[in-house]
A and B are shown apart, each in its own frame.
Chain A
Amino acid sequence: MSEIAFFGAIEIGLVYALVALGVYLSFRVLDFPDLTVDGSFPLGAAVAAALLVAGANPWLASFAAALAGAAAGLVTATLNVRFRILHLLASILTMIALFSVNLRVMGRPNVALLTQETVLTPFYGLGLPDHLVRPLVVLVIVVAVVLLLARFLASEFGLAMRATGANARMARAQGVDTDAHIYAGMALSNGLCGLAGALFAQTNGFADVTTGLGTIVVGLAAVIVGETVLPARMLVLALIGCVVGSILYRLAVQVALSADAIGLQASDLNLVTAVLVAVALILPRLKAAAGGAR
C-alpha cells in the first residue's frame, strides 16, 4: 500500500466517520434503524455543490448541507412519530424521495467541483502535500464533532435522548418528551450525514446522485467494527470507536483492492471486503471464547 493510498483510505474513513457517528446516534442511541442516510449523504453533497457553483462560501455551503440533511431526518421522524409509519418504511420513503430532490437541487446527475474553491483550498500550498492536507482538515472537523457530540450526549437533553432510546416508556414516565427527542436525534444524525456528503464532494471534486448508494451499510459496518475493536463503556470512547471503525473499514477496502496479487479479480472486491470485516468481527469473539475455555 503506497503512502497516497494509505492516507487516502484514512481521509475517506474520516469523512465516513461522520456517517458512522450519525448512524450511532440513530441506531444505537435512539434504537431507530434509519435508511434516510442513503439519501441525506448525497443531499449534503448536492446542496454543497450547488451552492459552491453559485459562488457561496465553502464553510457556509457545508453548513447548509448539514441543515439540509437535518431537514431530511426531520421528514423521516415526522412520518414515524406523527403518522406512525414503521421507522424502516418511513426512512425508505424519505430516501427514495431524496433521489428526485437531489436531481432537482443539482439540476443534473453530476456536478463537478474540480475547479471550485472548497473548504480545503486555503490549506493547500502551505507546505504539506495534498494527500496529507485533506485527511488533516477532515480530522480537525471530525475531532470537533466528536467533542461536541460527547458534550451534547452528556447534557440533560442528551441524557433524556439516551433514555428515550433505551426505554421509551420509562423515559416518558420520568417526564421526558420522547417525540421531541426522536425529532432532534434524527435531525442531528442526518445532519452529520449531510455534512459528510458535503465533505466527500469537496475532497473528491464532484457530487453525483449515485453517491449515496450503500452509505447505511458502510455506516453500520463502521459502528460495529468500532464496537468490536474498542469495546467501551464510556460514551466518548464509543464515539471514538465509530471513527476508528470507519477508518479500519476503509483500510480493509484498500487491502481488498490489492487482492488481485493473490489471484482475485476486481469483481471480487465486495466479497473480499465483507470477508475482511467479518474476520475483524469474529476474531475478538474467538479470542474471548478461547480465554473462557481456559
Chain B
Amino acid sequence: MPITRLMCAALAVAAFAAPMAPAAYAQSQSKTVAITAIVEHPSLDAIRAGVIESLKAAGWTPGQNLKVEFQSAQGNPATAAQIARQFAGSKPDLIVPITTPSAQTVAAATKDIPVVFAAVTDPVGAQLVKSMDKPGANITGVSDMAPVAEHVALIREIVPAVKRIGVLYNPGEANSVALVSKLKEEAGKAGLAVVEATATKSADAQAAARGLVGKVEAVYVPLDNTVVSALESVIAVGQQSKLPVFSADTDSVGRGTVASIGFDYTQVGRQAGDLAARVLKGEKPGDMPAVLAKGTDLYVNPKAAAAQGVTLPDAVVKRATKVVGQ
C-alpha cells in the first residue's frame, strides 16, 4: 500500500512538472540561453547582467527572440548538480554557468549543449578546457584569473627602470602557485626577470620581503592569503628600502600598495556575452579560445607611492578609477 502511494506521488510530481518543461516554449527563430550561478551576490549578478547586455547588443533581445532562464543553487552544490541536469534535459541553445562548481556540474551533465562559463579562475585546472587556446569539446568561457599581463605593464609604466620583479607568496597556496607561473610567463614576454620569495606563514612575510631588497626593483604580491594577511609588514619593508610594492587585488591598494588593476564584473559578463553571441551565431565553443577577463578598474595610492620612492605618472593617475590613501 505505501509503495503504490509512493508511486502515485512520483507520478504526480512528474505530471505536474511536465508541462513546465522550458523546451515547450522554444520557438523556431528564437534562442534559449540558460544561466546558472552557485549563489546570488552582487558580483555574480553583475556578470549575468553583462552577459545579457552583450547578447542584446548582438541582436538577441530577451522577451522577443531570446528566452533567458536563470537558476541559482542558493549556495548548495547538490542543487547546482540538479540544475545542471535540468538544463541538460531541457536542451537550451546555450548554457552559461557562473563560478567553478556550477561550471563543473554543467560540464559533467552535458557533452553536446554549448557551454560558455564565466568567473572560473583556472579553467584548465578545473578540467573544463584542455587549454585556454584550444578548449576542445563543447566548452569555452571567461577566466577571472588576475589580469597579470596588465599588472606587468602597469609596473613597467610606474617603475620604468624595472628589470626584475620580486614576487612574494606561499608555495602552499595552489592559487598563488598558478598566479606566479602566469607572472613568469608574462614578465618573460616583457623581457623582465622574476625573483621568487616564499613565506609559508604570515610571520615569515617580512623576512621574505627583506630578502628581496637589492635584488629587485619592484615587489608584486599576488592574491595570496598568507602574504596579504601580513601585507603591512611587507609595505613597511617597501617604505624602509624605497622598494615599490604592487598587489594583484585592488583592495590592498587602500592598505598601502602603489597600484593595481582589478575587474568590473559587468565587464567580465560582457566578455562572456560576446562569446555567447558567437556561439548562438553558429561557432563551435571548442574552437573558440577561452579568454582572460580584462581588468578595467585601476586603483592608485599616490601617498604610498611617494613613501616607497616612486612617483605615479600623471597619465596613470588621470585614468585611475579610484585614487586612495589621500
Contacts and interface: CB of A to CB of B under 8 A. Distances in A.
Contacts of B88: 4-5, 8, 131
A252 to B, nearest CB: 8
Interface string B1-45: 010011001100110111011110000000000000010100000
Interface stretch (B79-87, B211-219, B235-243, B250-258): B79-87
A255 interface: yes
Nearest to B83: A257
Given A5-B85, A5-B86, A203-B108, A266 B72 contact: yes
Interface in B59-103: 69-72, 74-79, 81-86, 88-91, 100-101
Contacts of B86: 1-2, 4-5, 8, 254, 257-258
A50 interface: no
- Residue from B5, B38, B82, B173 whose CB has the most chain A CB atoms within 10 Å: B82
A230 interface: yes
B18 A1 contact: yes
Contacts of B108: 114, 203-206
A200 interface: yes
Nearest to A284: B5
B109 interface: yes
Interface of A: 1-9, 11-12, 15-16, 107-108, 110, 112-115, 131, 200, 203-206, 208, 210-211, 213-214, 218, 229-232, 244, 248, 250-255, 257-258, 260-261, 266-267, 269-270
A107 B174 contact: yes
Contacts of B57: none
Contacts of B173: 108
A110 B90 contact: no
Interface string B294-321: 0000000000000000000000000000
Majority secondary structure of chain B interface residues (helix, strand, loop or mixed): helix
B175 interface: yes
25 contacts: A2-B91, A5-B90, A8-B82, A8-B88, A12-B82, A108-B174, A205-B104, A205-B127, A206-B100, A206-B105, A206-B108, A208-B100, A210-B101, A213-B77, A229-B6, A230-B2, A230-B6, A231-B2, A232-B2, A257-B79, A258-B20, A260-B69, A266-B70, A269-B74, A269-B79
Interface residues of B, number: 51
A250 B78 CA distance: 9
A15 B77 CA distance: 13
A6 B14 contact: yes
B76 A214 contact: yes
